[in-house]
Amino acid sequence: MTGIIPDGRLADLTREELVRYSRHLLLPEVGVEGQKRLKASRVLIVGTGGLGAPLALYLAAAGVGTLGLVDCDLVEASNLQRQVIFGTRDLDRPKTAAAADRLKALNPGITVNTYNMRLTSRNALAVIGDYDVVADGTDNYPSRYLVGDACVFLKKPDVYASIFQFEGQATVFDAERGPCYRCLYPSPPPPGLVPSCGEGGVMGVLPGILGTIQAAEVIKLIVGGGRPLIGRLHIVDAWLMRTVDVKLDKNPDCPVCGKSPTITELVDYEQFCGLGDDRGEEVPSVTAGELKSRLDAGDRVQVIDIREPHERSLFRFGGAVPVPFGQLVRRMDEFDPSADLVFICKIGQRSLYAIRALREAGYGGPMFNLKDGVNAWAREVDPDLDAY
């Protein structure tokens, strides 16, 4: 396999670069030629969180000439357990700005472009088109489908990883030589079925493991040689410390990269993943303050806590009826149809899906979503409780 950087873009290494990258130069598989390709390369990292943090650090250290960082979030305290590119002093700063400062401090010889925004169907092709490789460090299905489709249309490799709790997976989607993201995941799971890391948790070192695997795959694609993870899904279980590779086949009927594609442009990925706004009647919500007032007034309200048992042990909501998300539909006969049901979870997202699932199952009683979940209750009603 040859590298993806054309010879016409290569430039000589400076004396300082020969010293900085000397350990690369000693490797016959990299050498001066490979390091020149790294210097000439442009890599876009979508998401500078758990995966993007180690990925960006190692690519900067390796001498990738231009790094693009896409993220619209601010640094939060809960990020610091795993997003090692940030420090405590970066709290409340835009992630892209804080990451760029750290990368430039690590390697002043590289260029860092920041995009403090969400990647969307309107801007993805323009942003991705300027880069040689895309590394997907996102944590949600709409973004993954967006990145995957855009990379197929632009003929760019998509170096992918995802993590949850103790397990992660990584691969390289390259529709020119193997499967794309939709070959592996033709359709997203139902909304609310798979909780995010913010709801389900993640072992702090796991994104470090998967992010560095992504960095290794990016380097191999740029330099050429080795055996990239094209057509293989590499699965890591950090709790049991075992790995396995699963063969991935290109789907000839894939709607994006198959023989007769039916999707030829970017779509509305929020709608595709069932997260859009056109799902019929809106779900009514109550704020933490409004719920507190209704409970204090003795209104006929039944609070349903759909969190998992280990979550409830972190933050107990007094008087709530515990019914985990996966049991809601089969246990809906237990609910009082004459009461206003208020569904609660950590941040108010799973409870939104819970109400929609119960509506589809035929439950007709009044239902409300606690806006921003129990974390809002901790912030606004009972500061003695700790948001998590």
Question: Catalytic amino acids?
Answer: 197, 345
Cα(315)–Cα(387) distance, integer angstroms? 8
Residue with tokens 């709290």: 91
Q: How many helices (H) and strands (E) in the chain? A: 15, 13
- Smallest Cα–Cα separation from 76: which of 167, 198, 196, 161? 198
**Nearest-angstrom CA–CA distance, 229 and 245:** 9
Phi-psi domain of 368 (left: phi exceeds 0; alpha: psi -120 through 50; beta: other): beta
CA separation for the pair 381, 375 (Å, rounded):
10
Residue type, 288: A
Residue 68 to residue 114: CA distance in whole angstroms: 6
Report yes or no: 181 and 145 within 8 Å, Cβ to Cβ. yes
| Residue 9 near residue 98 (C-beta atoms within 8 A) | no
